[in-house]
Amino acid sequence: MLYHLLYPLHTEISIFNIFRYITFRTIYGSLTAFLICLVLGPWVIRKLKKMQIGQHIQDDGPQTHLGKKGTPTMGGILILFSITFSTLLWANLANHYVGIMLLSLFLFGSIGIIDDYLMQVKKHNKGLTARGKFLLQVFSALVISWLIYRCPDFNTQLTIPFLKNITPDLGLWYIPFAAIVIVGTSNAVNLTDGLDGLAIGPIIIAAVAYMFFGYVAGHSEIAAYLHVKHIAACGEMAVICGTLAGAGLGFLWFNSHPAQVFMGDSGSIPLGAILGTVAVITKQEILLVVVGGLFVIEAVSVILQVGYFKMTKGKRIFRMAPLHHHFELKGWAEPKVIVRFWIIAVTLALISLSTLKIR
Ligand code: 57M
């Protein structure tokens, strides 16, 4: 909004020229989202407590989690509001990719909110059924992928990390491929969200990495220098990733151990989905396996554990899946697991950024 309201005035008031710059809008977009979370956080937590939206803790998990009973959940709505408000304020709303990102946030946010609402407010045992939730995610992801596919400046070639000359063209198959990326990331983030700050930390880290990818792809000279496909409209992804990182930091203020609030499905499902969406738009879809490598590790630990458990009728590879529970049961203190997982996420993000140069 500020871009549309103030930038046109730059011919009379030259300082408004600054609203043209993506770097400026990214920084202030992230600060705005951060401040909204920080200021509204205590009020939202009080409201959630008043509405008795408190986490039920399963007693089959690590015993240390029993003390978390009643911690308000659904804090994701605070993140969703901050990202949306800040994006509306700082992004170029005429940019088609900005619209698609907001739609992705809305569709997946609605799935998460409905799930939490049924579980927390209606006290409906497990919220949406796993099948119902999955079908809604697939449908939403197909809509988003189709919209991206239709964008005139979007191509359906894959970017293979480290190999700049190999770019297989998926054509129409790009739509189901992109949908798998989006649904997969949404669910992997959801599985990771099981310790204080464990999911939001790597989300912030991945958002910062994609902020760079979006900026580079959107800048004709830098893109040419790094041999990255130039997509002018992609630059605005930096602004949105900035709002995601800022909102994430603001939420972490309250979600850091010992957490005063959990994000719930209202947070984990849409945040994973918009990471998947931005990876597709910036044409760094496959690299998401590295950028969000921590989410992949957590999801793979569940697949292996469940598969092995079924095959062997009750035997386990890990003490408990997802992997963070394994380390907890080995006796690591919760903050140690969290910070070590963050360290892995930062390392993976750095490796992924190096692909801009090594190719
Ligand atoms: C949701 N939810 C957390 C919170 C958060 C197939 C199976 C592996 C699925 C998996 C599962 O259900 N995962 C998805 C995980 C829960 O957090 C809530 O859920 C939201 C995210 N959707 O925002 O609202 C608990 O996590 C803890 N938490 C924190 N801090 C946070 O900031 O401490 C969350 C956020 C919260 C809180 O304790 O209550 C969760 O873990 O339930 N299932 C599992 O993860 C279960 N694993 C399991 O059964 N493993 C089996 C295999 C064979 C399937 C095994 O390894 O033996 C574990 N979860 C629980 N008990 N609660 C283990 C058993």
pLDDT at position 162 over 90: no
pLDDT at position 244 over 90: yes
Question: What pLDDT score does 56 carry?
Answer: 81
Mean pLDDT value of segment 32-53: 95
Q: Among the atoms of ligand 1, which is closest to the Cα of residue 56?
A: 39
**Residue of 302, 337, 341 best suited for mutating to test ligand 1, as the one with most atoms within 8 Å of CB:** 302
Query: Separation of 194 CA from ligand 1 center, angstroms?
Result: 5
Give the rounded percent of residues in the chain with a pLDDT score beyond 90: 84
Q: pLDDT tens across 121-155, in order?
A: 777 767 789 999 999 999 999 999 999 999 999 99
pLDDT at position 57 over 90: no
Radius of gyration of the chain (CA): 20
Question: What pLDDT score does 125 carry?
Answer: 67
Mean pLDDT value of segment 235-246: 98
Question: What pLDDT score does 180 carry?
Answer: 98
| Residue identifier of the C-alpha nearest atom 47 of ligand 1 | 321
Q: pLDDT tens across 146-156, in order?
A: 999 999 999 99
Question: What pLDDT score does 257 carry?
Answer: 97
Q: Any residues with Cβ below 6 Å from ligand 1, and which?
A: 55, 57-58, 60-61, 65, 68, 73, 190-191, 193-196, 255, 259, 262-265, 268, 302, 305-306, 309, 316, 320-322, 325
Mean pLDDT value of segment 265-269: 98
Mean pLDDT value of segment 82-90: 98
Question: What pLDDT score does 205 carry?
Answer: 98
174 pLDDT band, cuts 50/70/90, is very high
At residue 54, φ and ψ (nearest 5 deg) are: -110, 145
Burial class (CB in 10 A: 0-12, 13-18, 19+), 6: middle
Alpha carbons within 13 angstroms on the beta-carbon side of residue 76 total 30
CA 41/CA 133 separation, integer angstroms: 28
Q: pLDDT tens across 289-338, in order?
A: 999 999 999 999 999 999 999 999 999 999 999 999 999 999 999 999 99
